[in-house]
Structure 1
């Protein structure tokens, strides 16, 4: 199934000049969503993950059901202050300022294979920070998997892990 027709684009969101790629229409179509999960499973399975990590927040929508499908665990990589208990932070530079991602201190055991998931790969900044954070807690990160990739922004080239994407946009 071609997933592209099930991904809505919204111009000028969240600010003028930005074209937002919205997966809510994909999520609302059971056949398309099931196809997306099956395709992600085919792409992720060869990396033999112990755990899938979803990036806050749309990455949770892909990682959690995929973890069930693959029979592995699921953990959350969240924005600062959103997780209870002891956390491990990683701050990273944005175009204008910084941001911080966190993971619970006991979420991943050292040496576990953790495939990272999100809905979208754009510039690679957040994904790169999440890879760094997972490595900081001792994870082996064999890959990143996303539903869609804005290839024209070059995020893949900024990462040092293989990237699996179901839909690529070249402009």
Structure 2
């Protein structure tokens, strides 16, 4: 990246994303001592700061680590934990693994789409929820399983959804 391109990227970053978050991320990276093998840890920190990993954040990380932006993007796009789009305040993940699907996860997902008026991987109008379908939570004995953020809901029934959603709206 030429110096002019770097200045251009920096200018874009300052306009769109809060500079103080970049400063905090930079301090985190510098505090690691060594960045060898720390890309995923750094991306986790970046996503916790910004809520997602837009192109400018990925390029910032790449510059700080002295690696190609394509390498950072490769990691971001490989792991489903990372997202390049903003998410709602709460992420609802519905397990669509075999056990959950057989126990009705598809019906739970359809009902959530109706109640939230969104499709999978979209954000509600109020910015409160993002809905995702995921492959397996690893809690097959609790099928069908739904997670909101880090909280697991097992043996979910359609009639419970209103109460669960309402508890996050408060």
TM range (shorter): under 0.3
Taking structure 2 as the reference length, the TM-score comes to: 0.27
Give the strand-richer structure, 1 or 2. Answer: 1
Larger radius of gyration: 2
Give the helix-richer structure, 1 or 2. Answer: 2
